[in-house]
Structure 1
C-alpha cells in the first residue's frame, strides 16, 4: 500500500483562474507600453512607473514578466542577457554593422514580438527586406519556438525565391540559433548575421517595425482570441503596412510602391537617388 500524506492524497492541481490570467496579461501589457515609451527603463524603474500609474506590484514579478517577454534587452545596461539567448548553439557575428544596403534581397531582418489577447499572448515572427522595408514573411503561433520562425522564413523564401548570398540578420535567440533554423538558412545559401546579445539597436529597423505594428494595429484592435489575430493581422501586414504605409526613407512611398519603382529603375538604368527623387516628385 502506498504511503501518502493526507494532503498529497487529496491534492488536486489547479489551473490558472481566467481572471488571474487576464489580470497578469493586463500588467504585461502595461509593462510593454512603458518599455516602448521609455526603452532604457530597467525593471526597477518600470516597477516605480507602474506604481505611479496605480498598479501595486512587486519588483520581482515585474522582473519575471519582463524576462519572459524579452523586454530586459531594453534596459540601460548594454549587455544584459535574455532567457532565450542562454543556449548552447553557435553565435554568429554582426555582418551588417556599417553596411550600405543598396538592393533587394541583400539583407533580410528577422525578429519576434508578442501580441496581446484577452487571456494572454500570441507570438509573431516577421521578416523584412532591409532595403524596401517590406514584410516578406511572417507567422503567428501560441508557442515561442523554432517552428514559428521557420514558418516565417519559409514564407519569405517562397515569396522571394532568392539566390545565394542573402544576409539573414537576427538576434541571438534560440529560435534563430537552433540547428533546424541554421540548416534551413545554410541549405538556401544564406549568410548568417546576429546582433550582440541585449543590444536592440543592432536590429533597430525591426524594433521600429514592431513599434509601428503595436501602435497602429495591435493597440487599436483589442484582439480577444488567437483567431482574431489570425483573421486581422495578415490584412494589416499586407494590405496596410506593405501596400499603403508611407516611409520617409523610401521617398514617402509604401514598400510595395517602392519595389515597383525599382522595376522602373532597372528598366531605365536610374540610380537609387534618382529613384527617390522620382518618388517624391510624382
Structure 2
C-alpha cells in the first residue's frame, strides 16, 4: 500500500488529516532520487509528493545505506532505538528538560520518527517541544513564475557575479519584473548564488563546520597538482534545476572531475573528490566555506589523503576565483544554448562539453593551448 490517509473527526468537524507512507514506498522514491535521472520537482510532480519530503527521504536513505551491510550495526541501531524510547520516557517524566531542548524547528523535525513502533507522532512532538502543525507543514513548491525568475537571475549572475540582492532586484525591475529584495534573496539562496564582493558571509557553513585557514597567500603555483579547487553552481532545466560541482587544477585549468545532483548534499561532492583523487593528488585543496566543504565527511577525506585544506577567508571574495571562471564558460558555451529538458540530457551534453573544454578549447591564459596539454605535458 502506498499511503494510508488517517482522519480524526468530532461531530461535523475534521481535526486532522495526514498520509502515512509505507517503508517500501519511501525506499522506492528515495532510490529514484538517488539515481539522479530526474529533478526533485519532476519526481514530486509524477508521484504527487512534495519536494521537501523527497529530499528528506533521500537524505535518510543515504545515511542508512552503510548500516544496511552490517548486521552488527543493525543490532546497535536496534539497541539505540530502545535507548531512544527509554530516553523519550525520561524526558516525559522530567518536563523541565524539555524546556531546555533549544533547537531550531528544522532540527526538531528531523528527530521525529514517523514509523516509531511505540511513540505516536503526537507524543514525540510533545517530548521535544515541537508544535504538530510545524511537523505537518509543507512549503509550497516553486511556481513556474519563480522558476522563470530563477532563470533570469542565473543568466544575469553569470554576467555580473558581483551583483548582490539589491543590485539583482534593481536589474530585474529594469526588465519589467515587479520583485522585492526578500523574494530575490530567497531565490538566490535556493540557487546557491552569493555575490563575489567582500562581505561578512561568503557561504553558509553547516551546523558543525570545520574551518581551515587560507593557505595560498604568496603561494607560487608553478606546476599541475599543486592546488585544486572546487565549487558548486546551479544548472537550470526546462522543469526544475540541478546542481553541478567540479574540481579544477589551478595551474592548468584542467577539470579533473565533475558531478551533478538534484539536491545540494555532501555525497555528490564526495563522489567528485574520490574520482578526482584517482587521477592524482594535490598539495593543497581550496574551497569556500559552504556546508558541503566544511563538513566532517569532506574534510576527513582530505586529511586521510594527507592533503592540506584551505578555505576562503571572510571578506576575500576572489580567493576561489579560478573555479568561478569555468562556470561562465560552461553556461554561455553550453547550458544557455541548448536549454536541457531532462537530467540525462544534461549529463550527456555536459560530458561532451567538458571533454571539449579539457582537450580542445584554447585558453588565453594558457597561451591559447588546451588545459589537457598543460596538465599532462
Mean CA deviation greater in 196-205 or 115-124? 196-205
How many Å separate the matches in 2 of 1:179 and 1:14?
31
User: Deviation string for 1:236-266 (max 9, x for gaps)?
Assistant: 112x100111112212100112234x3xxxx
Q: Does 1:245 align with 2:361?
A: yes
Partner of 2:271: 151
**Cα pair distance change 1:77/1:8, threshold 3 Å:** farther
1:20-31 mapped onto 2 (5 Å cutoff) = 21-31=143-153
CA contact under 8 A between 1:79 and 1:199: conserved in structure 2? no
CA contact under 8 A between 1:36 and 1:211: conserved in structure 2? yes
CA contact under 8 A between 1:128 and 1:134: conserved in structure 2? yes
Q: 1:120 aligns with which of 228, 233, 240?
A: 240
SS of the residue aligned with 1:159?
A: coil
How many Å separate the matches in 2 of 1:146 and 1:197?
22
Q: State the structure with more CA Rg.
A: 2
**Cα pair distance change 1:51/1:14, threshold 3 Å:** farther
CA contact under 8 A between 1:171 and 1:197: conserved in structure 2? no
Q: Does 1:53 align with 2:175?
A: yes
Q: 1:104 aligns with which of 195, 215, 224?
A: 224
Q: Which runs of 5+ in 1 are unaligned?
A: 263-282
Query: Cα distance, 1:90 vs. partner?
Result: 1.7
Structure scoring higher RCO (CA < 8 A, sep ≥ 6) equals 1
Query: Cα distance, 1:24 vs. partner?
Result: 1.8
User: Deviation string for 1:59-109 (max 9, x for gaps)?
Assistant: 2111111122232333x5522354x32532221111112311011111011
SS of the residue aligned with 1:227?
A: helix
Aligned residues: 254
Q: Which runs of 5+ in 2 are unaligned?
A: 1-6, 20-47, 52-139
Query: Cα distance, 1:47 vs. partner?
Result: 1.3
CA contact under 8 A between 1:200 and 1:207: conserved in structure 2? no
Partner of 1:276: none
Q: Does 1:218 align with 2:330?
A: no
How many Å separate the matches in 2 of 1:19 and 1:204?
33
**Cα pair distance change 1:252/1:81, threshold 3 Å:** closer
Query: Cα distance, 1:11 vs. partner?
Result: 8.1
Q: 1:92 aligns with which of 180, 191, 212?
A: 212
SS of the residue aligned with 2:318?
A: helix
Partner of 2:84: none
Partner of 1:79: 200
How many Å separate the matches in 2 of 1:26 and 1:81?
25
SS of the residue aligned with 2:286?
A: strand
Query: Cα distance, 1:15 vs. partner?
Result: 4.9
SS of the residue aligned with 2:230?
A: strand
Q: Does 1:138 align with 2:272?
A: no
Q: Does 1:181 align with 2:298?
A: yes
Per the normalisation by structure 1, the TM-score is: 0.81
How many Å separate the matches in 1 of 2:250 and 2:367?
15
Aligned-residue Cα RMSD (Å) equals 2.6
How many Å separate the matches in 1 of 2:142 and 2:193?
22
CA contact under 8 A between 1:112 and 1:124: conserved in structure 2? yes
